Amino acid sequence: MAVNDIDDIYASLGISSRVLNICEDVLGGLDERFREIDRTSEYCQLKVLKAFQKNNVNESCLLGTSGYGYNDIGRDTLEKVYSDYFHTQDCLVRPQITCGTHALALALMSNLRPGDELLSAVGKPYDTLEEVIGIRPSKGSLAEYGITYAQADLNPDGTPSLDNIRNAITPKTRLVTIQRSKGYQTRPSLSVETIGKIIETVKSVRSDIICMVDNCYGEFVERIEPTDVGADMVVGSLIKNPGGGLAQVGGYIAGTCECIENVSYRLTAPGLGREVGPSLEALPRMYQGFFMGPVVAASALKSAIFAATLYERYGFESYPSASEERHDIIQAITFGKPEGLIAFCEGIQAAAPVDSQYAPEPWDMPGYDSKVIMAAGAFVSGSSIELSADGPLREPYTAYFQGGLTWPHGKFGIIKSFQTLVDKGLILC
């Protein structure tokens, strides 16, 4: 295809030649960054393939079960694949886990008992966990069961304070939670190396404390995972990185045999545990999604770096900055006023393959304490490994961008968002 043919189709999608030239100029300096992302993706892809082959995944593994789900070979084999990838003793990968927050709640509620204390090692937790914990009162929270909460505040620069973590541990501390991704904050996301230092600090005080990592948005970004540096549990959602954009529902919890056994009884019922839970028709997408995950995560990383580089050129703050090393797929861009956040999300929505004709509006989303705007024209509802952006309507009006199943689509989404801000007079170029 000739260059002018590409220009023509971009023009037909509402992109001006001026905006396209600006974006192509930005991309010209990212070749080496993108090559390194591809090298990591290749490494993780081979790790996934090795886990598939070790566990003899075959066509019968793609057939589901119904009813009680007894002797579900495909389900049980998939859990072994995940366990081998994360180098853990055991794992649960289930369509009955509805989202990342549900997976985290299961991991916490199954491994904490009345009188125990939960400690967050990285300051304030993600918004939706506030009700799970009971920071904001909610039915069924940990607080209602007599489980207390403490947190180790971050350093002024947003990095974890090992001294604060060490000092926050008490005889009641049973489980320490470590959130890898920044959530709706501007602190740095955590590298696996940093997570390892946190775990080492916790275990140096008491080796029996469970260390759990919220791994959402971090899978396949680095060549190792938190369980390679001592995490007792890692938790994530299949409609993020490990589902590869194909899994329609589900979550995973990987870790020690004791932790996962406890989770299995909370997921189903005492005495039943992991033996029940049909996979229905979910297995082909769950297997293939995990297989595709490393390449999809690489596309999302390229989109994030492109976004940061482009918007920084026009004076917007980004977290992480364009030049920083990446530890998750989230890109935060601060606009300073609601119009910028809304326009950015409108541009992302307009670039979607599904529901592109609609404009997103802020709304009172369950689990959040302020209105949230979300752009996600996705094949799977709520899938944030697909091209998506969201943010709370509160200062400093930061958009959190993630996803892009393919790099060409992620690239177009960022270009379209930039064009939308230009069209609304919020960027002058």
Among residues 128, 25, 22, the alpha carbon closest in space to that of 370 is found at 128
- The full set of domain ranges for the chain reads 3-43+291-423, 64-281
Cβ 92 vs Cβ 267: under 8 Å? yes
Cα separation, 359 vs 350, in Å, equals 8
Cα separation, 219 vs 241, in Å, equals 6
CATH class of 3-43+291-423: alpha beta
- DSSP for 21-34, please give it: HHHHHHHTT-HHHH
* Degrees to nearest 5, angle at CA 231 with 175 and 298: 125
For the domain with range 64-281, which CATH number is right: 3.40.640.10, 3.30.450.40, 3.40.50.2000, 3.30.565.10?
Answer: 3.40.640.10
The residue type at 397 = Y
Cβ 348 vs Cβ 388: under 8 Å? yes
**Which pLDDT value is given to residue 2?**
56
**Which pLDDT value is given to residue 121?**
98
**Which pLDDT value is given to residue 182?**
86
Prediction pTM value: 0.95
Cα separation, 324 vs 420, in Å, equals 26
Residue 356: CB atoms within 10 Å: 14
Cα separation, 29 vs 51, in Å, equals 36
Per-residue pLDDT of the chain (429 residues; tens, 9 = 90+): 455 699 999 999 999 999 999 999 999 999 999 999 999 999 999 999 999 999 999 999 999 999 999 999 999 999 999 999 999 999 999 999 999 999 999 999 999 999 999 999 999 998 889 999 999 999 999 999 999 999 999 999 999 999 999 999 999 999 999 999 987 777 899 999 999 999 999 999 999 999 999 999 999 999 999 999 999 999 999 999 999 999 999 999 999 999 999 999 999 999 999 999 999 999 999 999 999 999 999 999 999 999 999 999 999 999 999 999 999 999 999 999 999 999 999 999 999 999 999 999 998 877 677 899 999 999 999 999 999 999 999 999 999 999 999 999 999 999 999 999 999 999 998
Cα separation, 221 vs 288, in Å, equals 18
Report in angstroms the alpha-carbon separations of 205 from 167, 170, 393.
9, 9, 40
How many residues comprise the chain? 429
Cα separation, 316 vs 310, in Å, equals 9
**Which pLDDT value is given to residue 395?**
92
